[in-house]
Amino acid sequence: MTIIILDGHALNPGDLSYDRLEQYGTLKVYDRTAPDQVIARAKDADALLINKVVLGEREFAQLPRLRYIGVQATGYNVVDVEAARRHGIVVTNIPAYSTPSVAQMVMAHLLNITQSVGYYAQQNRAGRWTDSPDFCYWDSPLIELAGKQMGIIGFGRTGSAVAHLAQAFGMKVAAYTSKPQESLPEGVEKLPLDALFATSDVVSLHCPLTPDTHHLVNAERLALMKPTAILINTARGPIVDEQALAYALNSGALHAAGIDVLCEEPPLAGSPLLTARNSFITPHIAWATLEARTRLLDICEANLRAFIEGHPQNVV
C-alpha cells in the first residue's frame, strides 16, 4: 500500500512523527500541496491523508488507485463525499479529538476580553506601571463573569464542555439545541435562538456549518444582542456574517468578539474583522494543542488500520 500525506505540516509542524504509519505501507509526506500539484503527487496513492487539500470528481477521475481518504480533521467539507462514493473511495474523519482544547480556547478568548491580561502585560513591559502615580491603574472594562449568562449555540461535546467551564466561573448557561430540556445538564436552560441572542452576555458558537447555519449570526441577530455582550466563534467562519459583525463592533452595538475561525483562511488583507474595534482574532488554533494533535494522530492511525483490516471506522 502506498500512503501519501499531502499537507502534513498542518497536523505536524515538527513536534510529532508520522513514522508509525510506515508499518502499513510505503509512506510519503508533503508539508504542503498546491491544487495544481495534487494529481502528480497523489497518482500512486492507495490512501491519501489530508487536512485542507480539496478533493473532488476532477481528482478522483485521475486517481484510479485511490481507495481511502483519511481527513485529519473533524470537518470534511474539503472532500466531495458523494463523488468519492461513486469511485468506491472510503472517506473517514477524526471526531471529538479536540474538545478540551477548543473549550479552553473559548475561555481564553473570554478571559482576554474581560480581563485584558495581555494588554496590561504589554503596557507594563513598556514601563507604564513603573511610571504610575497610583498603586494600580486600568483603562479598560474589567468584567466579572459570575452571574452573567453564557448562551451556547449547539450543545454537542464541545458545547457541553464549554457549559461546564462557564458554570465553574459561576455563569448561568442557556443553550440553543435540538436536545430536549430534560436531557440537558443541571442548570442549563434551553432557549429559542433569538431569545438566546437577546438575553445572553456571551454567545459561543458550537454548531456545524450547514446551509441552515450559514450566516446564522447576521445583522438582525447581532442587533438583538446587548451592547455589552461578547460573541465567541471557535466553530466555522461562515456561520458569522463578518461584515455585519465588524459593523456591530465598530458602531459600539456589540462590546467585543473572540474569533478563531474566519470565512477565508488565511484572511485576505482588508478583511473587515482584522481591524474592527475589540475584535480579537487567533489563527484557527483552538484545535492545535500538542495534546489534541497527538489524539488526532492516534485516531488517524486507528482509522487507517481499521480500513486496511476491512472494518473501516469513522466513515463519513
> pLDDT tens-digit profile of 146-165?
999 999 999 999 999 999 99
pLDDT at 263 (0 to 100): 96
Task: Let me know: does 45 contact 4? Beta carbons within 8 Å.
Answer: yes
- List, by residue number, the catalytic residues: 236, 265, 284
> pLDDT tens-digit profile of 251-299?
999 999 999 999 999 999 999 999 999 999 999 999 999 999 999 999 9
Report which DSSP code applies to 229. -
Q: To which residue does cell 491544487 refer?
A: 35
pLDDT at 174 (0 to 100): 98
**Cα maximum dimension of the chain:** 73
Among 36-40, 73-77, 202-206, 287-291, name the one with the lowest average pLDDT. 73-77
What's the topology of domain 2-96+290-308?
Rossmann fold (3.40.50)
The superfamily CATH assigns to domain 99-281 is: NAD(P)-binding Rossmann-like Domain (3.40.50.720)
pLDDT at 275 (0 to 100): 96
* Adjacency order of strands within the sheet including 2-5: 26-29, 2-5, 47-50, 68-71, 90-92
Taken as a whole, the chain contains a residue count of 316
Mean pLDDT of the chain: 97
The rounded distance, in Å, linking the Cα atoms of 153 and 158 is 10
Nearest-CA neighbor of 115 among 280, 301, 245?
Answer: 280
Per-residue pLDDT averaged across 231-235, rounded? 98
Equal fold, 2-96+290-308 vs 99-281: yes
Question: Residues 35-43: contacts with CB within 8 Å, 24+ apart?
Answer: 38/6, 39/63, 41/4, 41/6, 42/4, 42/6, 42/66
Q: What is the reported pTM?
A: 0.93
Domain-wise residue ranges, the chain: 2-96+290-308, 99-281
